[in-house]
Amino acid sequence: MKKRCSKCGQEKPKDEFTMRKDSKDGLNTQCKMCIRNLSQRYYENNSDKIKENARRYKKNNPEKTKEAYRRYRENNKEYIKEHNKDYHSTHYKNNKEKLLEQCRQYRENNPEKVKEINSISCRRYRENNKEKLLEIDRRYRGNNPEKIRMSHRLIVEKLGDCYVRGIIKQKYKISNEFISDELIDDYREQLKRERKHNEKRREEQKAAIVNRKIRSTRKQRP
């Protein structure tokens, strides 16, 4: 079965027409190609107006916009995956230096925002891939025990963020979301002071042991 397009006048299969409930046959009077060309011409002639309307709508309807994006990503996973693949294989490779420079400048101009975005992305990835990350960690630890020991020793010596965060969580029983970077820095300084104090005590204890041995040796002399 075919249908004649009211725009181009050609007879085309019915699957070349979009659905329209209020028409007799349930199809649009114009074919998909004509509607696409019409939409493209309208966009070219009114691009500024369309972009401004889109920006205004996003600003006034943030929740609806997020939900629409979420539904689109959910319903077009394969297309998005293929599109991203094509993008990286063509546009990114052809403009690699320019894009890297733009990213570098953005990171330099927005350090706090970049840090926040990275933190949110990492947390979301860890929450959605717990089993996968545990398996990777278990396999790596089993294959690299010496590296793990060396890495842990360095983290302990340098009081790295992960190590300090773990101590805070274990000691005060609080989750990651309540442990800020400022809290980690303050607690790191406290640990450094405690470490210096403990080192001083150990040195004093060693000196006391040496002195006792010397006195004991003197008493044993004839």
Q: Is 167 a domain residue?
A: yes
Q: Encode pLDDT of 4-26 as tens digits.
A: 999 898 999 988 998 888 888 88
The answer for residues whose C-beta is within 8 angstroms of residue 30's C-beta and 6 or more apart is 5, 6, 7, 17, 38
Structure tokens at 173: 């029983």
The Cα 196–Cα 188 span in angstroms is 12
The pLDDT, as a whole number, for residue 34 is 92
Q: Is 213 a domain residue?
A: yes
Local confidence band at 172 (pLDDT 50, 70, 90 cut-offs)? confident
Biggest alpha carbon distance in the chain?
126
Buried b vs exposed e over 90-104: b needs ≥16 C-beta within 10 Å? Answer: eeeeeeeeeeeeeee
Which phi-psi region, left, alpha or beta, contains residue 13 (left: φ > 0; alpha: ψ -120 to 50)? beta
Q: Is 164 a domain residue?
A: yes
Q: Is 114 a domain residue?
A: no
Q: Is 11 a domain residue?
A: yes
Q: Encode pLDDT of 89-114 as tens digits.
A: 788 788 888 888 998 999 899 988 88
The whole model's pTM is what?
Answer: 0.35
Q: Encode pLDDT of 19-78 as tens digits.
A: 888 888 889 999 999 999 999 999 899 999 999 999 999 899 989 998 998 999 899 888
Given the structure tokens 């299969």, which residue do they identify? Answer: 13
Residue range of the domain that includes 23: 1-75
Name the domain boundary from 23, 57, 75.
Answer: 75
Name the domain boundary from 41, 75, 109.
Answer: 75
The pLDDT, as a whole number, for residue 109 is 92
Amino acid at residue number 190: Q
Given the structure tokens 């300084």, which residue do they identify? Answer: 189
- Asked whether the predicted pLDDT for residue 210 surpasses 80, the reply is yes
Buried b vs exposed e over 172-201: b needs ≥16 C-beta within 10 Å? Answer: eeeeeeebeeeebeebbeeeeeeeeeeeee
Q: Is 83 a domain residue?
A: no
The answer for residues whose C-beta is within 8 angstroms of residue 32's C-beta and 6 or more apart is 16, 17, 18
Q: Is 120 a domain residue?
A: no
The Cα 195–Cα 214 span in angstroms is 29
Q: Encode pLDDT of 133-165 as tens digits.
A: 889 888 988 898 888 777 766 666 677 787 788
- Asked whether the predicted pLDDT for residue 221 surpasses 80, the reply is no
Q: How many folded domains does the chain comprise?
A: 2
The Cα 27–Cα 74 span in angstroms is 27
Q: Is 4 a domain residue?
A: yes
- Asked whether the predicted pLDDT for residue 211 surpasses 80, the reply is yes
- Asked whether the predicted pLDDT for residue 117 surpasses 80, the reply is yes
The Cα 213–Cα 196 span in angstroms is 26
The pLDDT, as a whole number, for residue 179 is 83
Q: How many residues does the chain have?
A: 222
The pLDDT, as a whole number, for residue 122 is 86
User: Average of pLDDT values for 78-82?
Assistant: 86
Name the domain boundary from 75, 91, 107.
Answer: 75
